[in-house]
């Protein structure tokens, strides 16, 4: 099927005309968050109510991806220009339908003229909450596949890579490696086959950005992989997704089916010599599989244990062939950059950090949910403007980013602009985008222990420093938490942090001391209170030998 | 492509699903994890007979099959209880009291996380983030994700299963 730009534009018009037949469109969030408060029931009920009133020809109902304010779910939005409703119950449906042409149902309205909505800049999530993720027509109407068609018909593979290099896109999995450079290494590598892998093994606790992207806009991820395949010369792609994300898997499967049917996947895509196929591989619950060499082992049907690099996957990856691995959010950025041009992308962000970053905001904060912000925004703006501050009049204590590989950032550094470099300097990291806010009721030693337990459980056992070191660090942290540790134990803990950080084989081990190191750096007094005074300042830890007051 | 000449361990029709997965991947050793997913989905857990059958069919040593089956958390070698209560211990749930929910249920049911009650009625499990951080603390009762759960609510819910 030879799809060129004109043909694509015609489809856009056709799809927009189909939508224009309706005077209203009600969008119901069908992403995992709202689904767990029965938004699917709401959609059924809405359909029934419209039918009852004979409005099914004038009002359209669309199941869409995440709107962002996940804690206020289930969320629905009435378009055009209508209100957004929060915490909608089945019993509210008649009132909502009744109010379509009149004033909105006041008690359910979620105000959208707040910083939570208007301080965000959406690239990756631009379609999230707008299009039906199961409809390729919706995606095309929103500019989908324009990037792919442009790349295939108007650009050479080298020009595609150059655009990414000039746009200064960096890996959104957390490391921040320049995407253009990675792609050009794979493009230059020699191999009878090449593979493109999308890392959707979002294992960090407290992170659900990639899941939302896969659920809300699966075609965007496919388009990114397709453009990557064209640029590096690969003909096969794997989407590696956590088995814990059944809805994302369902959406991706449906997207692959539709894209294949419409000629965007398969042989001679859009009438060009380029051919590309995509298959899904399910993870099976191993955090370490987020590490690229472990992920490759897992796709090969083996235990997900990392191997030393070099050789890097770009030279020798899946089954020994050159392999490009990027994270979901990185692929989601590709199509907009090609479609709108690298200058547009380069204008967002600051210094060496261009574009946006999606964060999952959770913990002790008023506005919990998914946000996308330009690089360079300060942590304070995220927490107090977009996040709406700390609930119940409690004081902010720390912000945790980067999951078990990251660290805790205290109040005095909240004015730091977000960038890969600035977060590393603070002893944390950008990570994949989990952002957990803690207030004065959280004990930082307990938090460090929590992450160490995670790393201990998730250590694959291949290298000694990580396998044994994380267990020892966990024991020492447990001793501190129950009040039986001495200052010697603390010194030993610090020494172990250093050893594990510098001698572990892969990123999991190397970064596992980070939560301890960062809490020691900013909250050493809490450690001392546990060890010397045998008390937990936040009142979280139960002391074995509590000192009688 | 290798052919499967082996007969399944039993007459059970669910083996057809397993065979179909292996066939789709040409009985390649690479299909091991995908096949184990199908076995677990069809039978609920990975029985010894199933592991042996998959090993032989895919021409993979039993040691590697067992290694993979025990490496990944998602695979279980024991049958799960009739009902499953999965407490999320992701960071957001943890700092909002997920641990207290776990401890309460654990005490009431008299089992530790990861165990099933002797009568096979309830399995108590934990998970590292179900991705419903907006609804923390979250618990999955059977297949239903419930948000903002308090320990008494969790007890109420689980009590009915005894």
Tens of pLDDT, residue by residue, chain A (549 residues): 567 888 888 888 888 888 889 999 999 999 988 888 889 999 999 999 999 999 999 999 999 999 999 888 899 999 888 899 999 999 999 999 999 888 999 999 999 999 999 999 999 999 999 999 999 999 999 999 999 999 999 999 999 999 999 999 999 988 899 999 999 999 999 999 999 999 999 888 888 899 999 999 999 999 999 999 999 999 999 999 998 888 999 999 999 999 999 999 999 999 999 999 999 999 998 999 999 999 999 999 999 999 999 999 999 999 999 999 999 999 999 999 999 999 999 999 988 999 999 999 999 999 999 999 999 999 999 999 999 999 999 999 999 999 999 999 999 999 999 999 999 999 999 988 999 999 999 999 999 999 999 999 999 999 999 999 999 999 999 999 999 999 999 999 999 999 999 999 999 999 999 999 999 999 999 999 999 999 999 999 998 865 544
Give the phi and the psi of residue A342 in degrees, each rounded to 5: -70, -30
**pLDDT of res. A545:** 65
The answer on pLDDT for B72 being more than 70 is yes
> What whole-number distance in Å separates Cα of residue A340 and Cα of residue A122?
14
A204 and chain B: CB distance < 8 Å anywhere? Answer: yes
Q: Do A301 and B72 touch (CB under 8 A)?
A: no
Among A30, A302, A391, A540, the strongest candidate for a mutation testing the B interface, having the largest count of B CBs within 10 A, is A302
Of the partner residues B67, B68, B136, the one whose CB lies closest to the CB of residue A362:
B136
Q: Do B91 and A460 touch (CB under 8 A)?
A: no
Of the partner residues A69, A244, A286, the one whose CB lies closest to the CB of residue B71:
A286
| B80-108 pLDDT per residue, tens | 889 999 999 988 898 889 999 999 999 99
B31 and chain A: CB distance < 8 Å anywhere? Answer: yes
Same domain, A231 and A292: yes
Q: Do A436 and B92 touch (CB under 8 A)?
A: yes
Which residues of B are less than 8 Å from A460 in CB distance?
Answer: 71
Same domain, B56 and B20: yes
Total number of domains constituting chain A: 4
Q: Do B131 and A32 touch (CB under 8 A)?
A: yes
> What whole-number distance in Å separates Cα of residue B137 and Cα of residue B146?
9
Same domain, B116 and B62: no
B6 and chain A: CB distance < 8 Å anywhere? Answer: no
In a domain, A117, yes or no: no
In a domain, B126, yes or no: yes
The CATH number of whichever domain residue A471 belongs to comes to 1.20.1440.230
DSSP B126: E
Which residues of A are less than 8 Å from B95 in CB distance?
Answer: 363-364, 436, 438, 442, 447
Total number of domains constituting chain B: 2
A71 and chain B: CB distance < 8 Å anywhere? Answer: yes
Which residues of A are less than 8 Å from B24 in CB distance?
Answer: none
| B113-148 pLDDT per residue, tens | 989 999 999 999 998 887 778 888 999 998 888 888
**pLDDT of res. A128:** 95
**Are the beta carbons of A443 and A537 closer than 8 angstroms?**
yes
Range of the domain at A384: 349-439
Range of the domain at B98: 83-159
B26 and chain A: CB distance < 8 Å anywhere? Answer: no
In a domain, B6, yes or no: no
Same domain, A268 and A377: no
**pLDDT of res. A28:** 96
B128 and chain A: CB distance < 8 Å anywhere? Answer: yes
Q: Do A207 and B129 touch (CB under 8 A)?
A: yes
B65 and chain A: CB distance < 8 Å anywhere? Answer: no
- Run of H or E residues at A187: helix A179-188
In a domain, B112, yes or no: yes
Same domain, B63 and B105: no
Can you read off the two tokens belonging to residue B89? 């211990």
**pLDDT of res. A511:** 95
- Run of H or E residues at B124: strand B122-127
Among A29, A36, A408, the strongest candidate for a mutation testing the B interface, having the largest count of B CBs within 10 A, is A36
Decide: pTM greater than 0.90: yes
**pLDDT of res. A549:** 43
Cα of B16 to nearest chain A Cα, Å:
20
Can you read off the two tokens belonging to residue A473? 């660090």
Q: Do A205 and B130 touch (CB under 8 A)?
A: no
In a domain, A121, yes or no: no
Same domain, A235 and A306: yes
Same domain, B63 and B98: no
Non-local CB neighbours of A217 within 8 Å, separated by 6+ positions: A65, A125, A127, A128, A131, A133, A139, A332
Same domain, B113 and B65: no
Dump the DSSP string for A505-529: SSHHHHHTTHHHHHHHHH-HHHHHH
Can you read off the two tokens belonging to residue A367? 């506005």
H helices present in A275-383, as ranges: 292-299, 328-340, 342-346, 379-380
In chain B, whose CA is at the least distance from the CA of A36? B145
In a domain, A303, yes or no: yes
> What whole-number distance in Å separates Cα of residue A504 and Cα of residue A85?
49
Interface of B with A in 73-92 (CB under 8 A): 73-75, 89-92
**pLDDT of res. A1:** 55
Size of interface A-B (CB pairs under 8 A): 133
Q: Determine whether B124 is exposed, middle or buried from the number of CB atoms within 10 Å of its CB (0-12, 13-18, 19+).
A: buried
> What whole-number distance in Å separates Cα of residue A96 and Cα of residue B121?
42
DSSP A418: P
Chain-centroid distance of CA B27 in Å reads 24
Same domain, B94 and B142: yes
The answer on pLDDT for B1 being more than 80 is no
**pLDDT of res. A547:** 55
The CATH number of whichever domain residue A35 belongs to comes to 3.40.30.10
Same domain, A339 and A217: yes
**pLDDT of res. A73:** 83
In chain B, whose CA is at the least distance from the CA of A296? B30
> What whole-number distance in Å separates Cα of residue A453 and Cα of residue A95?
49
Same domain, A197 and A295: yes
Cα of A58 to nearest chain B Cα, Å:
34
A478 and chain B: CB distance < 8 Å anywhere? Answer: no
The CATH number of whichever domain residue B155 belongs to comes to 3.40.30.10
ipTM of the complex: 0.90
Q: Do A301 and B29 touch (CB under 8 A)?
A: yes
**Cα dihedral A269, A272, A274, A275 sign:** positive
């Amino acid at each position: 099927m030879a799809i060129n730009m004109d043909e694509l534009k015609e489809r856009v018009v056709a799809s927009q005309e189909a939508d224009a037949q309706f005077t209203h469109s009600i969008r119901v969030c069908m992403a995992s968050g709202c689904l767990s408060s029965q938004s699917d029931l709401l959609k059924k009920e809405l359909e029934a109510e419209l039918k009852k009133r004979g409005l099914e020809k004038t009002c359209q109902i669309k199941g869409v991806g995440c709107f962002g304010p996940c804690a206020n779910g289930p969320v629905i939005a009435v378009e055009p220009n209508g209100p957004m409703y929060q915490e909608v119950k089945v019993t509210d449906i008649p009132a909502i339908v009744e109010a379509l042409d009149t004033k909105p149902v006041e008690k359910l309205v979620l105000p959208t003229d707040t910083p939570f909505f208007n301080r965000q800049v959406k690239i990756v999530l631009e379609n999230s909450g707008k299009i039906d993720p199961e409809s390729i027509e919706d995606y095309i109407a929103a500019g989908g596949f324009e990037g792919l068609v442009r790349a295939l018909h108007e650009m050479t593979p080298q020009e595609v890579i150059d655009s990414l290099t000039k746009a200064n896109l960096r890996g959104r999995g957390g490391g921040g490696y320049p995407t253009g450079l990675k792609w050009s290494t794979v493009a230059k590598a020699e191999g009878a086959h090449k593979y493109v892998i999308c890392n959707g093994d979002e294992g960090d606790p407290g992170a659900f950005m990639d899941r939302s992207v896969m659920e809300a806009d699966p075609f965007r991820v496919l388009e990114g992989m397709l453009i990557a395949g064209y640029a590096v010369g690969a003909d096969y792609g794997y989407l590696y997704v956590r088995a814990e994300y059944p809805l994302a898997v369902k959406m991706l499967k449906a997207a692959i089916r539709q894209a294949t049917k419409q000629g965007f996947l398969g042989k001679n895509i859009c009438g060009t010599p380029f051919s590309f196929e995509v298959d899904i591989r399910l993870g099976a619950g191993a955090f370490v599989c987020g590490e690229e060499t472990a992920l490759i082992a897992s796709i090969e049907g083996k235990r997900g244990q990392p191997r030393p690099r070099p050789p890097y996957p770009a030279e020798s990856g899946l089954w020994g062939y050159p392999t490009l691995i990027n994270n979901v959010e990185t692929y989601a950025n590709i199509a907009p950059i090609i479609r709108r041009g690298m200058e547009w992308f380069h204008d967002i962000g600051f210094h060496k950090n261009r574009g946006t970053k999606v964060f999952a905001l959770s913990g002790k904060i008023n506005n919990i949910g998914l946000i996308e912000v330009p690089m360079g925004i300060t942590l304070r703006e995220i927490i107090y403007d977009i996040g709406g501050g700390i609930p119940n009049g409690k004081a902010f204590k720390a912000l945790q980013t980067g999951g078990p590989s990251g660290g805790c950032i205290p109040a005095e550094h909240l004015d730091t602009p977000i960038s890969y470099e600035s977060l590393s300097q603070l002893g944390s990291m950008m990570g994949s985008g989990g952002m957990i806010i803690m207030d004065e009721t959280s004990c930082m030693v307990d938090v460090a222990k929590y992450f160490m337990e995670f790393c201990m459980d998730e250590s694959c056992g291949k290298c000694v420093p990580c396998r044994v070191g994380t267990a020892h660090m966990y024991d020492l942290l447990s001793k501190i938490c129950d009040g039986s540790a001495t200052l010697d134990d603390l010194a030993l803990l610090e020494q172990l942090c250093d050893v594990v950080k510098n001698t572990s084989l892969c990123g999991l081990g190397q970064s596992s001391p980070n939560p301890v190191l960062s809490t020691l750096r900013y909250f050493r007094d809490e450690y001392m209170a546990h060890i010397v005074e045998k008390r937990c300042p936040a009142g979280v830890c139960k002391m074995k030998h509590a000192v009688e007051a | 492509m290798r052919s499967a000449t082996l007969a399944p361990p039993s007459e059970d029709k669910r083996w057809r699903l397993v065979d179909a997965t292996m066939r789709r991947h040409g009985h390649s050793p690479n299909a091991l994890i995908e096949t184990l997913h199908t076995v677990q989905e069809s039978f609920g857990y990975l029985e010894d007979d199933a592991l042996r059958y998959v090993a032989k069919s895919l021409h993979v040593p039993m040691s590697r099959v067992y290694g993979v089956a025990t490496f990944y958390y998602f695979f279980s070698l024991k049958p799960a209880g009739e009902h499953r209560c999965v407490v999320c211990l992701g960071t957001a749930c943890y700092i909002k009291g997920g641990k207290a929910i776990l401890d309460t249920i654990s005490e009431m049911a008299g089992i530790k996380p990861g165990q099933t009650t002797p009568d096979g009625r309830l399995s108590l499990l934990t998970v590292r983030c179900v991705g419903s951080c907006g609804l923390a603390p979250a618990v999955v009762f059977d297949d239903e994700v419930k948000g903002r759960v308090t320990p008494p609510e969790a007890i109420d819910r689980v009590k009915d299963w005894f």
